[in-house]
Structure 1
């Protein structure tokens, strides 16, 4: 009898153990993809020369400054550089309805230099001069359509009333927008001499990098004005691309003369859309 009880106990124990092994979760491992480029992939990463970059179809790049209301009696400069909030909202909606997708400078660089694809109907939305409404109105409107923008910051204005503060800049960066440099005090590049290069290019870059914790690799010329002497200094300061306005690009350094179009406050949304399409219609 004792032997029977003992054998029964052993049987129950073995059966219970088998059940435990059967129902225990199976540990799985997720394969980690090998992200190292193959030799063939590395061969493809050959940088385009200037002629090849100039031959690429231009991406529309919009440039905004102020986003606020103004009266009919406002001066022409105000009307040219200021877009009313309602008009800005209408323009963002029109871009979305037309199927445009916002892109950022890293995408533009890869497209121009390495022939990498872009989304269908790309557009870049940029802001100059660090005005506070670019965050409170501009970024808020773009977010409705999942648009991201490029904010060219003039560092002398950071934390001043009605301008972007450090927290705004950090939040813009953390939410997927691009922060870029626009000099220290908007002093035009064509007049730089001596330590101006350090003051206007190097120090603003370092300050912005300290705020956002990311490299700053894009620069916008004040007033869109540039000269050949500026480009080597901009390169030496660690920038990969620089932006002018809608004038002719440089045939030697097109990455440092990327064209943008100022959106005028005098324009209707329909005119803005048509001007954008005309300005960047295969123009070299």
Structure 2
């Protein structure tokens, strides 16, 4: 009797241990895999005006169409600051976050964007450069307007002092003079905004998206905690806060293109050459791997050049399509699809001198 009772107890213990594991394995098998981490798309808008004169201008009606899409498809807008502060605790993120950013401090951000965001109950981030506000032009935001927006839950962050191409060195400018000017561009704007709004500025967006590793170092010494580029792609909670991706919005984008911008997951690229945010003086042969991603062909785009390239026998994607380069920042964009035809995208850049 004692032996039977002992056997029953052992079987019961085994069932307690094994059954939950079986259920867990069954759940994974049914869903296909563990849940993927959330992606965070960051969108960049510029002027929102009635009569557009640039592909980067939106009418209020066009912006509202985007806001409706975001609402109707279950997205929750958060600010850029909320995004950066949640990186260490991604469980704080909503299930489908999106960040709406507006660059350059144009008056339409107060007259058109701000009312639309309030209409939908959304927050946005406004990256402003301080010299243009000091001009007190009727086309630009005022400090009083920015204070009102800040008090109403909007996020105000830095976009440098004068909105220059940060990588450009003047013809007769010494390295020491350039470093001094660069430091002033990044520090002065932060200090002016903090003085005017009485709110710490923690984030920077690069004008035109041009940057390199040296500029990153100056930015972090200036006290920024997160830096936004205009490199294509979405962000994972594990993203490098010194190179956060944002996609510049264009008014000719289709609904399908907008959907892809919001849903494309980061392509797991392993860069071989050129180094991300590196400085080079010779046209590069671009090389990279995509470990763990089941595709043999991807699309590569650098400025106006687009090509489809295949993985070689060593598992490396190689492209030699860049020949004559002019000085500036070059963005390398790589797109692919997985076995379910879901879009994936990633990008990195280099400066050519």
User: Shared fold by TM > 0.5?
Assistant: yes
Q: What residue in structure 1 maps to residue 253 of structure 2?
A: 267
Partners of 1:266 and 1:279 lie apart in 2 by 23
Show structure 1 runs of 5+ residues with no match.
1-54
Bigger share in strand: 2
Given that 2:38 and 2:96 are in contact with CA atoms closer than 8 Å, whether structure 1 keeps it comes out as: no
Write out per-residue CA displacement over residues 161-217 of structure 1, whole angstroms, 9 at most, x where no aligned residue. Answer: 211111111111111111000011111221362321332111111110112111000
Are residues 1:187 and 2:164 paired?
A: yes
* Coordinate RMSD, CA, aligned: 2.5
Q: What residue in structure 1 maps to residue 70 of structure 2?
A: 95
Q: Residue 241 of structure 1 is aligned with which of 226, 233, 236?
A: 226
Q: Which has the higher contact order (CA 8 A, sep 6+)?
A: 1
Quote the offset at 1:84 in angstroms. Answer: 1.4
Q: What residue in structure 2 maps to residue 146 of structure 1?
A: 121
Partners of 1:139 and 1:63 lie apart in 2 by 15
Quote the offset at 1:247 in angstroms. Answer: 4.1
Q: What residue in structure 2 maps to residue 276 of structure 1?
A: 262
Q: What residue in structure 1 maps to residue 214 of structure 2?
A: 229
How many residues get paired? 223
Higher CA-based Rg: 1
3-state SS of 1:198 partner:
helix
Q: What residue in structure 2 maps to residue 109 of structure 1?
A: 84
Q: How does 1:1-284 map to 2 (within 5 A)?
A: 57-70=38-51, 74=53, 78-79=54-55, 81-158=56-133, 159-191=136-168, 193-247=178-232, 254-278=240-264, 283=345
Show structure 2 runs of 5+ residues with no match.
1-35, 170-177, 267-342, 347-353
Quote the offset at 1:221 in angstroms. Answer: 0.4
Partners of 1:63 and 1:198 lie apart in 2 by 25
Partners of 2:66 and 2:38 lie apart in 1 by 23
Quote the offset at 1:56 in angstroms. Answer: 5.8
Given that 2:157 and 2:203 are in contact with CA atoms closer than 8 Å, whether structure 1 keeps it comes out as: yes
3-state SS of 1:102 partner:
strand
Write out per-residue CA displacement over residues 248-272 of structure 1, whole angstroms, 9 at most, x where no aligned residue. Answer: 89xxx82111000111011244542
Given that 1:87 and 1:269 are in contact with CA atoms closer than 8 Å, whether structure 2 keeps it comes out as: no
Bigger share in helix: 1
3-state SS of 2:92 partner:
coil
Evaluate the alpha carbon distance shift between residue 86 and residue 270 of structure 1 in structure 2; reply closer, same or farther with a 3 A threshold. farther
